Structure 1
């Protein structure tokens, strides 16, 4: 590690951090433009072949940015997409983003530092930064917005220029340092470790907007909520939000190990994908899948789901539109199995159902998630943590859907369990919420 990183790990003051030089290069998990096209004609697009861990140049800091020394990060499916160069190479995103202004132009490089989650310590602030100082412990929202766009001030996700940090921008979180806009920053929950804090922003924020926010499905007490992929990062937070909101969580998983995991999170009904005829690609007859799924849900709950929590996409969407009740809501934030969906529109229009598109979370919604973590109503979905040197292996675990919850990555933190600055709160929450 460089002297600045060593000082961060040692826990020196912000004033001392400001006296140390920022390194010219830093270690990061990154993609290389020269690898684009390498998976052409290849069936198994193994991300371990394209995620490299090594030095990259340190960029100049813009006036509205901070430099965060990253203590921990996490793997999200957008890193898998990036490393497979699908649906298009993310270098295309960087080139598009670079057209905005000279600061955005820094992002168009022959390397792409990936990663859309992070916790860490502010070590430098841009000339226009007011609220943050060197030494602050922060978590990073994955949504980067244009604060000068009027739409941002109603809802950051409606800003036409908003992008996913570390996916559609460079200098993301799977690294020793990250470049972050001030509109992405929130205080780190003091009772969480670095890796626990880093696990939450993308998936917990996305699930909150989908289910709880007035911009999503507006879940209420007693709602039956069908959650596809309930044992994954998004699903693990969705289960907790449904449980905490007085709903009935119905989780779909792919193994008994995952079933036990989601039961522990509070999932009242658990269904194996194979039981309803889903074992891989999109089914030939999604209505038949929907009928089998509906029978199971009614047998367990007595009614059809009010809400379907969708992020799988092509393999499940047709069944989702069918199985949700008359007047119910399918809320979708992604398509990990494919973007092109087929469904029978009669069941949508004639039964007055709704489909809501949801993407990320604005900073207010992220702050609401932080509060839920602070009061113990939500817990980090972290189940395993890798060192940065093994970031490619961590991403492969997610690519293979062999993980539970969130997969963490230690960046500068030398080991797990560090970063707790309020141990009393941690102990109090453990006593008050023993199931967590």
Structure 2
């Protein structure tokens, strides 16, 4: 691995020299173990500690198959799916790996007693399998996390509809929280040249997810002038949704939980911010068994106060159970609630009268297809959308990084340095970086 790292840090190593580098037999990776899936049994979700379940250890280098690439990972990032994996909720990911392993002789590689996790990366292509023509060893890349087979017709209009659609590093093995990752070559995209390794790694999953959920015709199809309610507007997903609303001529109404997070939204350019803790909204009773429509109405009144009497056109929903009833209520007649994930609970409850009689729509959104991911990354590369890294950990401390996200102690995205020996490396276009330095660093140190 040291020879590989030296070649990357040199910055001018030729493609043929990368191709001639000897690949390691094993590499460092963050894993969970199949024989530990019951380790947190009986504990509440919040009390389950990723530091106990995530292991940083040497694992064998997987065989490289057709249409695949091995990437030297300089940096990765924490997503909520890594938190779910580490606490074995809502189910163990080993079931995903077992089902994938039954698909073919090649996919059997993924069904192992350990799971290398992580759905983001930035790094350098080391080797490619048969049939790969677009990417060469030595190319600096980032990866999106859509893994598809496309052997059936269903996914050829929208690859997210492929029956074999999976999220790499969550529903497949050999993810990005490691020194080497195995990806399908069509997951690769050019690394934005003005960003560091950790900055470039961080947008992958959440940026593409936000793009599809809010901007794409497959999601909210946001247009200029829309009022967009964004829950967790300074977080991993919300930080990008806020940028897309502002960049696309919409008006974000940002919901956050503290004044620090409100200030981040203002630094992004948002003017309408609701501090939910300050307002003390109580959408559910103390037992969590019933919702209070009076609180929905109070929330809607606050929104109208900020917008000059207008209701919400699109709700960017991802908390789920805690907020979904309120989200449906405050959306305008004919408006749209786009939903992905459910970080506060999967069993959503809402009053259907406010949906059905007012012709509102609920649209489900899950990650993004290749085209949407490419467009989202292109906007990053152009400096129109910016990464949201607040801090980074070394790979050895991946458990603490996951715990930060689990307990919502972070802003934006939490990066993880894999092969990169320190932060700040990998910038190739210093002139462009200088133009956007303030925006790139606005989540830092908060």
TM-score range, shorter chain: over 0.9
Give the CA deviation at 1:167: 0.4
Q: Equivalent residue for 1:277? A: 281
Supply the distance in 2 between the matched residues of 1:429 and 1:131 (Cα, whole angstroms): 29
Counterpart for residue 29 of structure 2: 28
**1 CA distance for matches of 2:339 and 2:172?**
23
- Residue number among 330, 336, 355 corresponding to 2:362 in the alignment: 355
Answer yes or no: is the 8 Å Cα contact 1:139–1:188 preserved in 2.
yes
TM-score (norm 2): 0.94
Counterpart in the other structure of 2:213: 210
Aligned residue in 1 for 2:252: 249
Which consecutive unaligned segments of at least 5 residues does structure 1 have?
none
Asked if structure 2 preserves the Cα contact closer than 8 Å seen for 1:64 and 1:181, the reply is yes
Superposition pairs for residues 187-336 of structure 1, below 5 Å? 187-274=190-277, 275-278=279-282, 284-301=290-307, 302-336=309-343
Equivalent residue of 1:73, what SS?
A: strand
Q: Decide whether aligned partners of structure 1 residues 146 and 433 sit closer, same or farther in structure 2, where only a CA change above 3 A counts.
A: closer
**What is the DSSP-based 3-state SS (H/G/I as helix, E as strand, rest coil) of the residue aligned with 2:234?**
coil
Q: Which residue of 1 aligns with 2:17?
A: 16
Alpha-carbon shift at residue 28 of structure 1 (Å): 0.5
* Counterparts of 2:123 and 2:257, CA distance in 1: 34
Question: Per-residue deviation at 1:433?
Answer: 9.9
CA distance in 1, matches of 2:438, 2:95: 49
Q: Secondary structure at the match of 1:326?
A: strand
Instruction: Determine helix, strand or coil for the equivalent of 2:391.
Output: strand
Q: By how many angstroms is 1:368 displaced?
A: 1.1
Verify the 8 A CA contact 2:386 2:440 in the aligned structure 1.
no
Aligned mates of 2:167, 2:295 — CA distance in 1:
33
| Partner Cα separation in structure 1 for residue 421 and residue 440 of structure 2 | 29
Residue in structure 2 matched with residue 423 of structure 1 by the alignment: 430
Are 1:128 and 2:134 counterparts?
Answer: no
How far apart in 2 are the matches of 1:91 and 1:432?
Answer: 39
When residues 52 and 67 of structure 1 are mapped into structure 2, their CA distance, relative to the original with a 3 A threshold, is same
CA, structure 1 residues 241+312, in 2 after alignment: closer, same or farther (shift >3 Å)? same
Residue 272 of structure 1, CA deviation: 1.9
1:35-94 Cα deviation digits (max 9, x unpaired) = 110111123111111011111111101111000000110000000000010110001111
Q: Contact 1:66–1:125 (CA<8 Å) still a contact in 2?
A: yes
Tell me whether 1:410 sits opposite 2:413 in the alignment: no
Note if contact 1:375-1:429 (Cα within 8 Å) is conserved in structure 2: no
- Quick check: 327-336 or 148-157, which moved more? 148-157
Aligned residue number for residue 371 of structure 1? 378
**2:148 touches 2:159 (CA, 8 Å); kept in 1?**
yes
Q: TM-score, normalised by structure 1?
A: 0.96
1:390 paired with 2:397, answer: yes
1:7 to partner: Cα distance: 2.9
Question: Separation in 1 of the partners of 2:31 and 2:111?
Answer: 13
- The Cα of 1:14 is off from its aligned counterpart by 2.2
Instruction: Give the secondary-structure state (helix, strand or coil) at the position aligned to 1:371.
Output: helix
The Cα of 1:9 is off from its aligned counterpart by 3.5
From 138, 142, 147, the counterpart of 1:139: 142
Mean Cα deviation higher: 6-15 or 379-388: 6-15
